[in-house]
């Protein structure tokens, strides 16, 4: 039986061997939720980029460029890190380069895995279905917040573990913790998260509607996968 | 209001600033439980040592020497890492040097804090009382298992957070997670932990009675504190 494990911070990733496994990179608030939304709404591929300048340089190649630092859109970019940015226009066939505080780092550091998928509550069912069919061990790589543990990415790991229960072993401590936390949070996710540091930060930025959107499950069926330097929908 | 925070692994400790704070090092199964038991039963001070050879060398100075590696007593040492070892003889006035897989590392890496205390379920109430009186910010430093998150140390952090609730801020994500997990586990701690990697490891080693002993709350009132290179009871 394959297993599901959870890495709570990119800083702990050197302790995990991703060889032969599927990594699911997650930054629920809001990088991976925005990426899933973008690909579900016509964007054909996404370049996840670590640095602002490298991201901006993609504009010369016809890309939309998106950047967030410390929760707000960076100066000079077309888009920030809100999933709503990808719903308010027609982006069919567009290419997107994006850099965010934590999310793009988690993706790039997961590259030793056989496959790197992008997870969010918005596509959790589709991710579960994909990895169930693949039958490989899975490691959820939480973006965290500047290296620290965060609740919302952990809850995603718990939601994925719940979907895989029965077909995947859930017996490591990190997965058990994520699973139990998700059980506790599920009846009122926003209430559960309302005391968390990141949701309080987003509330101060008046983007609570982003949080509500990002906590919806199974809105989209797209599963972004890293091919070379780009995220594209799985076929 | 002072705050309580939780560091889930010594590997994440570089992200925490312990200056001016109290660190509570915890390795529930079983290093810190054994240390608390030893000091509660007559041992006057403990040298926590990282390396086996350095630990053994303390014997020449009249110390009892204790060592555990991968869950079992290391060859050539007087004692292992079971709290029962410190209950089956009269150790009044004895000195102890101890090295364990994870626990002693967590202690030594916490030294930038104002004070380093040793926590276990066995003395959780006394630790809570001590830090409440001190009124400083607290960081629980979980030993984990070879750098990875573990459940039992996290549950201790949750138990301490529960005791400090009202007097300390619990609003960071790691503390909220520990608090919720402890609420879920409290009715049946052993049952909750029975799926965890470390308890399964201890079960394979036939030391389930150690786990049961280590999960008891408030058996002892001693609060070990690091003074120079040694752990001694607080006055």
Q: How confident is the model at residue B205 (pLDDT cuts 50, 70, 90)?
A: low
| Residue length of chain A | 235
Q: Which residue of A has its CA nearest to B179?
A: A181
The residue behind tokens 């990875």 is B148
Nearest residue on chain B to A169, alpha-carbon basis: B195
Q: Closest Cα of chain B to A166: distance in Å?
A: 14
How many whole angstroms separate alpha carbon A160 and alpha carbon A225?
17
Q: Which of A11, A15, A177 sits opposite B15 (nearest CB)?
A: A11
**B149/A198 touch (CB, cutoff 8 Å), yes or no:** no
pLDDT greater at residue B194 or residue B116: B116
CATH of the domain at B152: 3.90.1560.10
A197:B154 CB<8 A: no
The count of domains in chain B is: 1
CA atoms within 13 A on the CB side of B156: 37
Query: In this predicted model, what pLDDT tens digit does every residue of A161-192 receive, in sequence order?
Result: 999 999 999 989 999 999 999 999 999 999 89
pLDDT higher than 70, residue A206: no
Is the pLDDT at B198 greater than 80? The verdict is: no
pLDDT of res. B115: 98
- Assess if residue B233 is contained within a domain: no
Indicate if the pLDDT at residue A101 is higher than 90: no
Is B172 in Cβ contact with A177 (below 8 Å)?
A: no
Separation CA A141–CA A107 (nearest Å) = 8
pLDDT above 80 for A203: no
d(CA A108, CA A126): 22
A215 within domain boundaries: yes
Inside any domain, residue A235:
no
Following DSSP, what letter does each residue of A142-167 receive, concatenated? Answer: E-TBTTB--HHHHHHHHHHHHHHBTT
Asked whether residue A233 is assigned to any structural domain, the reply reads no
A231 assigned to some structural domain: no
Residue A9, both tokens? 């911070």
Task: Report yes or no on A230 lying in a domain.
Answer: no
Query: Helix, strand or coil for residue B24?
Result: strand
Question: What is the domain range of residue A195?
Answer: 3-222
DSSP designation for A74: P
**What is the per-residue pLDDT across A133-168, written as a single tens digit (0 to 9) for each?**
999 999 999 999 888 999 999 999 999 999 999 999
pLDDT at B102: 83
Task: State pTM to two decimals.
Answer: 0.95
CB contact under 8 A, A197 and B148: no
Average pLDDT, chain B: 93
Alpha-carbon dihedral sign for residues A65, A70, A76, A80: positive
Contacts of A9 in chain B (CB under 8 A): 12
Instruction: For chain B, give the percent of residues with pLDDT over 90.
Output: 78
Confidence tier at B215 by pLDDT (50, 70, 90): very high
What length is written for chain B? 235
At A192, list the tokens.
Answer: 């559960």
For position A90, what pLDDT does the model report?
85
Could you read off the pLDDT of A13-60 as tens digits, one per residue? 999 999 999 999 999 999 999 999 999 999 999 999 989 999 999 999
Backbone angles phi, psi at A7, to 5 degrees: -105, 115
CA distance A69 to chain B (A): 19
Residue A75 lies in a domain: yes
Q: Which residues in A lie closer than 8 A to residue B145 (C-beta atoms)?
A: 173
Rounded average pLDDT over A50-75: 91
The predicted pLDDT at position A21 comes to: 98
Other Cβ atoms within 10 Å of B77 Cβ, number: 21
CB contact under 8 A, A150 and B173: yes
Do the domain assignments include residue A71?
A: yes
pLDDT above 80 for B207: no
Model confidence band, residue A205 (pLDDT cutoffs 50, 70, 90):
low
Judged by DSSP in three states, B26 sits in strand
- The closest alpha carbon to A23, from A198, A224, A229, A181, belongs to A224
């Amino acid at each position: 039986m394959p297993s599901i494990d959870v890495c709570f911070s990119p800083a702990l990733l050197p302790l995990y061997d991703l060889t032969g496994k599927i990594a699911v990179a997650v930054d629920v608030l809001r990088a991976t939720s925005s990426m899933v939304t973008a690909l579900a709404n016509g964007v054909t591929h996404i370049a996840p980029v670590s640095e602002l300048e490298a991201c901006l340089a993609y504009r010369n190649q016809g890309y939309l460029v998106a950047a967030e630092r410390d929760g707000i859109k960076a100066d000079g970019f077309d888009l920030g890190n809100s999933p709503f940015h990808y719903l308010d226009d027609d982006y069919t066939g567009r290419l997107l380069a994006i850099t965010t505080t934590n999310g793009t780092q988690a993706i790039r550091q997961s590259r030793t895995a056989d496959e790197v998928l992008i997870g969010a509550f918005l596509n959790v069912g589709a991710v579960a279905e994909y990895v169930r069919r693949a039958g490989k061990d899975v490691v959820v790589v939480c973006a965290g917040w500047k290296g620290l543990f965060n609740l919302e990415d952990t809850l995603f790991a718990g939601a994925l573990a719940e979907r895989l229960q029965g077909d995947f072993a859930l017996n490591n401590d990190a997965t058990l913790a994520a699973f139990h936390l998700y059980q506790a949070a599920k009846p009122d996710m926003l209430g559960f998260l309302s005391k968390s540091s990141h949701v309080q930060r987003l509330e101060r930025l008046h983007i609570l509607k982003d949080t509500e959107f990002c906590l919806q499950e199974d809105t989209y069926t797209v599963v972004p996968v890293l091919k070379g330097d780009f995220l594209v929908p799985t076929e």
